[in-house]
Amino acid sequence: TKIAVFASGSGSNFEAIAQACRSGELLAEIVVVITDRPAAYVIERAKKMNIPVAAYEAKAFRSKEAFEKAIVERLADDGVEWLVLAGYMRLIGPTLLNAFPSRIVNIHPSLLPAFPGKDAIGQAIAHGVKVTGVTVHLVDEGMDTGPILAQQAVAVVHNDLEKTAQSIHEVEHVLYKETLQQLFKPIYTTSESQK
C-alpha cells in the first residue's frame, strides 16, 4: 500500500509508522511526506530515513483549492493510495477529500468526540477528566469528526501536561501502526462465503 504521511510538526508519529514499514510490521510504503511547514522537524526525520519530503506553503497559493490541487498532483504522480495525517494542523478541504474519498486517516490525542481541535491534551487537563486517550479515525469534512476506527484510553497524570502527553504519544505510536495494518489488509473472500 502506497501512503503519504501529512505532518506539520515534530513527526514522532511519522517516524513510528516509517519504522513499522521498514520492519515489515506494517505492509505499506511511505512514498512521500507532505508538510505545510518548511521548518517542521518531521523534515529532518524523513531525511534521516531517506523518505522524500514535499513542502507546500499555503500562503504561496492563491486559494486553498490551488494549494490542495498542487498536493493532489504530487500524490497522483507518486501513485499514493492512502493519506495518513500525523499532526497535520490544517483542515482537509474538498479538493483532497474528493481525490481520496474515505482514504484519509487521522490520529487525535483524545477520546473523540471529546476535545476535538487544537490542544486536546491541554483541554482534557483543564476540564479535569481523569481518563483521556487516543482516537484513529477516517477524515471527513469536519474537524476530527469522521468514523472512528480505533480508540485507546490513557490515564491523565494529575495536572501534568508533559507526563500525560508522553503517555499519549507512546500509545499513539503503537495504535496508529496497528490500526493502519488492519485497514490496509486485503480482504479475502472464499467461494464458499460468496454462495
- Could you say which DSSP state residue 62 is in? S
Question: How far is the C-alpha of 11 from the C-alpha of 125, rounded, in Å?
Answer: 23
Question: How far is the C-alpha of 90 from the C-alpha of 9, rounded, in Å?
Answer: 12
The alpha carbon torsion through 34, 104, 93, 115 (nearest 10 deg) reads -100
19 contributes a contact to ligand GRF by CB under 6 A: no
Cβ–Cβ < 8 Å for 14, 46: yes
The answer to whether residue 108 is catalytic is yes
Binding ligand GRF (rule: CB under 6 A), the pick from 37, 45, 108, 177 is: 108
Is residue 47 part of an annotated ligand binding site? no
1 contributes a contact to ligand GRF by CB under 6 A: no
Is residue 49 part of an annotated ligand binding site? no
Stretch 125-154 residues interacting with ligand GRF (CB under 6 A): none
Binding ligand GRF (rule: CB under 6 A), the pick from 109, 111, 164, 179 is: 109
30 contributes a contact to ligand GRF by CB under 6 A: no
Question: How far is the C-alpha of 111 from the C-alpha of 176, rounded, in Å?
Answer: 14
Cβ–Cβ < 8 Å for 86, 176: yes
Binding ligand GRF (rule: CB under 6 A), the pick from 21, 26, 30, 87 is: 87
Annotated binding site for (6R)-10-formyltetrahydrofolate: 64, 89-92, 106
Query: Which residues contribute to the site for ligand GRF (CB under 6 A)?
Result: 7, 9-14, 86-87, 107-109, 172
